[in-house]
Amino acid sequence: MLVAARSVQGIGGATLLAIGPALLSEVLQGRQRSFALAVFGSVAGFAMAFGPMFGGMLISVRGWRLIFLVNVPGCPHPSAGPVVRS
């Protein structure tokens, strides 16, 4: 069950990384588009660079079970996201 859930999570993450910039480019114009793409790229890069390091530190300090507690608050419901108005 855990492997299946991780597979679905991986597919969702890959989809977000592929479709996210395209959606931002379609919805926003001019400076807003540039700013949104810069923030998207910065956050994605930061997460890819420091996420594994942070996870490794948590595991070494508190054990592998802590990772599950950290992920729950880091995943808010999509309806809690920002609203883009045109």
How many structural domains compose the chain? 1
Do residues 28 and 20 make contact, with C-beta atoms less than 8 angstroms apart?
no
Q: Which domain holds residue 70?
A: 2-75
Return the minimum-mean-pLDDT range out of 41-45, 62-66, 76-80.
76-80
Is 17 inside a domain boundary? yes
pTM over 0.75: no
Residues 6 or more apart from 20 whose CB is under 8 A from it? 40
Is 15 inside a domain boundary? yes
Q: How far apart are CA 12 and CA 64, in angstroms?
A: 23
Is 80 inside a domain boundary? no
Average pLDDT over residues 15-33: 90
* pLDDT at residue 86 greater than cutoff 60: no
Query: pLDDT of 29-63, one tens digit each?
Result: 999 999 999 999 999 899 889 988 988 888 898 88
